[in-house]
Amino acid sequence: METVLVINAGSSSLKFQLFGVAAAGDLQRLVKGLVDGVGTSPRMRALGVDGVPLIDQGYSHDHIPDLSAAAQLAGTWLSERQGFNLVAVGHRVVQGGPDHDQPLRVNESVLRNLERFVPLAPLHQPGNLEPIRMLLQSRPDLPQVACFDTGFHRGHTDVADYYALPRRFHGRGARRYGFHGLSYEYVSARLREVAPKIADQRVIVAHLGNGASMCAIFAGRSIETTMGFTALDGLPMGTRCGQIDPGVILYLMTETGMTATEIQDLLYRESGLKGLSGISSDVRDLLESDSPQAAFALDYFVYRVGLYAGTLAAALNGLDAFVFTAGIGENSALMRARIVENLAWLGAELDPVANAEGRLAISTSSSRIVLLVVPTDEELMIARHTLEVISKDTSGAK
């Protein structure tokens, strides 16, 4: 069977999924794996069809010193264990820069272009590109496709895309790129299948996971989103601060003497739910805790989701549907219920039974807006894009 490998490489972990390509071009997930602890104590885990465990093994740091080695480890294990016929690899690349609104096949010159965007996403882009570089060298004939988290938002109007800085800074790359685009694109496509009327209307999708953002979508296109230049902006997240007055950062630099690296660490790793609660970045831990700080962190999150619903509803000039997705949005009936309370002014009415059961539609029949839960699948989106790009290539575009 022909297969497509999807790689999502972070700073210290590499997630991978293998999809089989069935006769009609349908994709079937065969393996879902992770190499984490890269740089400290690497470990590879993988599950097969129906969640059957296939491997759970630790390695020495000398054996797997970096993400390239992690990608090689996963590739070798997959080829030995699965005996698959790999036709392409799709990569999640966080930053496509101003020009890339579509996934594309990577060669040396595309890779060099994507390297220019490292300063725009210094924590994510280098890790995303490392396995691509390694495979270009070791398997130059294997097609690789880069899929961008920013791509889905590239159609924003200028008023949505600019910061109110002197215009030349926009040309230098200081724009509101937006992220989680692969998730929004997947959910938006899925809406066409499960709620086709809604798919052409004014929709807010709330991607509420460890990273969290929200997107205003009209007729399947992103028109506004809560993240901007980096994945720090907008909602508070597990460990990221979300929206913050840039004056706070100037203050930290000038008055406390913190360095740029220390501030980066503070904003990306020590803030958000973790910083506010002092307990955990994980909503499950906070829901279980009886600490007032845990309750405060959750109140803060719920309040901000409500605030941004107002902002995005204004961008859409009204609202027809609100969609929950990602870890918190898909799994926590309690958080959904709390968030919907803050959407009452938009006419949202929750059906508590449907919500508790995690059904697709969780609003009452009299609710003015439709409330939905639509699980996201960024890896499947990447696999689809990868197949599309390589089939165009092989049909003569090369």
Which residues are known catalytic residues? 149
Q: Is 316 helix (H, G, I), strand (E, B) or coil?
A: helix
Question: What is the C-alpha to C-alpha distance for residues 1 and 215, in angstroms, rounded to an integer?
Answer: 37
Question: What is the C-alpha to C-alpha distance for residues 310 and 307, in angstroms, rounded to an integer?
Answer: 5
Region of 80-88, 198-206, 247-255, 322-330 interacting with ligand ADP (CB under 6 A): 322-330
Region of 20-28, 65-73, 143-151, 207-215 interacting with ligand ADP (CB under 6 A): 207-215
214 lines the binding site for ligand ADP (CB under 6 A) = no
Cβ of residue 180: shortest distance to ligand ADP, in angstroms? 9
Closer residue to ligand ADP (CB): 244 or 334 = 334
328 lines the binding site for ligand ADP (CB under 6 A) = yes
Site residues for ligand ADP, 292-311, by CB under 6 A, read none
282 lines the binding site for ligand ADP (CB under 6 A) = yes
- Positive or negative CA dihedral for 217, 218, 219, 223? negative
Near ligand ADP by CB under 6 A: residue from 283, 298, 321, 390: 283
Contact 322, 214 (CB under 8 A): no
Beta-carbon neighbour count of residue 105 at 10 Å? 17
Closer residue to ligand ADP (CB): 277 or 331 = 331
Instruction: For tokens 């069977």, name the residue.
Output: 1
Closer residue to ligand ADP (CB): 201 or 239 = 239
242 lines the binding site for ligand ADP (CB under 6 A) = no
Question: What is the C-alpha to C-alpha distance for residues 104 and 110, in angstroms, rounded to an integer?
Answer: 9
Region of 18-26, 75-83, 277-285, 341-349 interacting with ligand ADP (CB under 6 A): 277-285
72 lines the binding site for ligand ADP (CB under 6 A) = no
211 lines the binding site for ligand ADP (CB under 6 A) = yes
143 lines the binding site for ligand ADP (CB under 6 A) = no
**Helical pair 181-194 and 378-392, crossing angle rounded to 10 deg:** 90
Contact 45, 31 (CB under 8 A): no
Cβ of residue 107: shortest distance to ligand ADP, in angstroms? 29
Cβ of residue 59: shortest distance to ligand ADP, in angstroms? 23
Q: Give the list of residues 6+ apart from residue 26 with CB closer than 8 angstroms, or none.
A: none
Question: For the chain, how far is it from start to end, CA to CA, in angstroms?
Answer: 24
Q: What is the dihedral of CA 354, 356, 362, 364, to 10 degrees?
A: 60
Taking CB atoms, the residue at the shortest distance from ligand ADP is 327
Which residues sit at the interface with ligand ADP, rule CB under 6 A? 209-211, 238, 282-284, 326-328, 331-332
